[in-house]
Amino acid sequence: MYKAFNLEHLDQFDDLETIDSNLAKIEYEKYRQKNLEKLSLKNLLQESIIEKDENGKIKLDTSKIQHTFFPLKQVDIFISHSHKDLELVQKFAYYLRHIIGVDCFIDSEIWGYADDLLQEVNNEYALIKEGLYNYTDANVDAANVYMTLSNALHDMINQTDTIFFINTPQSSSLNENLKSRQVESPWIYDELKTISIIKPKIPSYISKLNVRNNVSPKNLSPNWSRPIDDQIKCLEKLDVKDLKKWKESLYTNEGLYDPAPMLAFYQIFENKK
């Protein structure tokens, strides 16, 4: 990771009004389907067994599961967002890919099947009878599946140069009682916490710029809220005006496309200093 940005008011970015929501959704589903076609959960579990004792207790290779089920991608931008903003993020991802010319990562496009994997594991190893699971075994399974996903997220954030946190009322909110911004999603909190502690690495294309490294039944279950003020402070501000400048910087008067969109993006911030 090189730098992370706090992107607010994305819903006010009028360039997204030109993006067809249906096309953006179709592309999103295409990425999901492409990944799903590669997966066979039963085969993956069988292939991941590395040991089995006389009582039938197995040991699974979580590294194999992680690399098969949660594969890493080489992309330009990692998008951290609330699932409640998925339609907005789908359009933004489409815009980045087709208008700006950069590749981006939405975790649910590739990794939206963690619950399917957990269900398969529980059905195989924690099921007592239909609809009834061993509480302890199911909890252990959940902890391991979600920890594997968390590790994959950390690896993906670490290897991606640029992170955009889509900061909306859906992803974070100001708690008047605690006088701080809070998130309820454990995944957003995990991503922001990881971003705040990763040591930044300057990518090779940035060496062309003189850039200082500044990265710094009715459901009654509780909403687990986590403060993120310290994590937000580690993100650089990014607004829709910057996105417009980025797009404008990519085209010459003749309409020719700039072949280095990420370099152009960071040039904008260097010029602001």
pLDDT tens column, 88-124 = 999 999 999 999 999 999 877 766 678 888 888 899 8
What is residue 206's predicted lDDT score, i.e. its pLDDT?
81
What is residue 9's predicted lDDT score, i.e. its pLDDT?
94
pLDDT category of residue 68 using cuts at 50, 70 and 90: confident
> Are 262 and 96 contacting, i.e. CB atoms less than 8 angstroms apart?
no
pLDDT in tens, 45-66: 888 888 888 877 888 888 888 8
pLDDT in tens, 147-199: 988 998 999 999 999 999 999 999 888 766 656 788 888 889 999 999 999 98
Q: Greater confidence, 83 or 273?
A: 83
> Are 4 and 163 contacting, i.e. CB atoms less than 8 angstroms apart?
yes
pLDDT in tens, 192-233: 999 999 988 988 888 766 544 444 444 445 555 556 677 778
pLDDT in tens, 18-37: 999 999 999 998 887 776 66
Q: Greater confidence, 211 or 3?
A: 3
What is residue 214's predicted lDDT score, i.e. its pLDDT?
47
